[in-house]
Structure 1
């Protein structure tokens, strides 16, 4: 995809996410890795609903600003996902309400923040890790992401918001939307003892759709 088309896609998806209330104000950021190893990322203090394609931050492979406005302070977060997930070509980070809510609940398992509620959650997100709170922009969040060793495409930052990587921008956005809807389902069903997908049903999805899920066999 040409540079111009990527810029327009970032703005289009950003506006869609913003207009549906998935990230308020100037919160949230989107990046796309380019063929030369550099990337395009949304600027700091920019609303995803009102992005200008020409003003997106263009970084080189070392993360240095080449053109455009100053980048989001969450660059370390995006960098960590790109460094640990070779297939990642895009990263989306939002402050979507239900995902943030989940990240604050005491019962959440850091290695499996959400249970297997629906097939599309597993197909789009895999499983979701929860990393401890760090202030926004803190480089330490990159170390927390790197500690997951690339096993997770979707991560919740405690008391902050979700971050999802995908092999395309569209895939990352769709996975983020699925994560938010699954978090909403979890909150709706909390305390009602809902049926989750069984281990056999999960195994079937893994087999049919070629999913790669983290191994938690030694966890509990």
Structure 2
């Protein structure tokens, strides 16, 4: 599929063995598509948007506000559409590979010196070399205003040989969580922040909650 935007692909996905997205690749498209289809290159791209299952889900995005949308930290759903499955067809950050990857904690997450840090270990558990994109999201648990259920803070592409592992430290400034406070100032209230690391916004493998101090910008 050659497209520069999310489309309704539920029927295509249901009737196809695989779906390759080529987002307006330009003059290099032919070689890139052929390499991915014939397996000489491992697909490393990840979706920059959520693909809906049905038109009635629009707008749908991974960073919807707490208490609305298709997902909620408690496991309950507070969506506004009448569908059996209210999740995206393909979530933000989704992408497959010709190999398999695992992600686990490699240390204690922390908020220190103005930075959020999440140590993780990513492993290629398949039989061939490949690339993946490890993504770090965060959720402000005690904000005085409604905040996103998850917010992308950082991501890192990593290439691993079959059976290889690598330790990463996903980090981002705490200030990336700043927002407009109830009194109109920009900043961040003191409280807990949950860090979520995974391979997409819907494929979270590691979570940790850390306390953060207040910030006034």
Determine if the TM-score, normalized by the shorter chain, exceeds 0.5: no
TM-score by length of 1: 0.27
Q: Which has the higher helix share?
A: 1
Q: Which has the higher strand share?
A: 2
TM-score by length of 2: 0.27
Higher Rg of the two aligned structures: 2
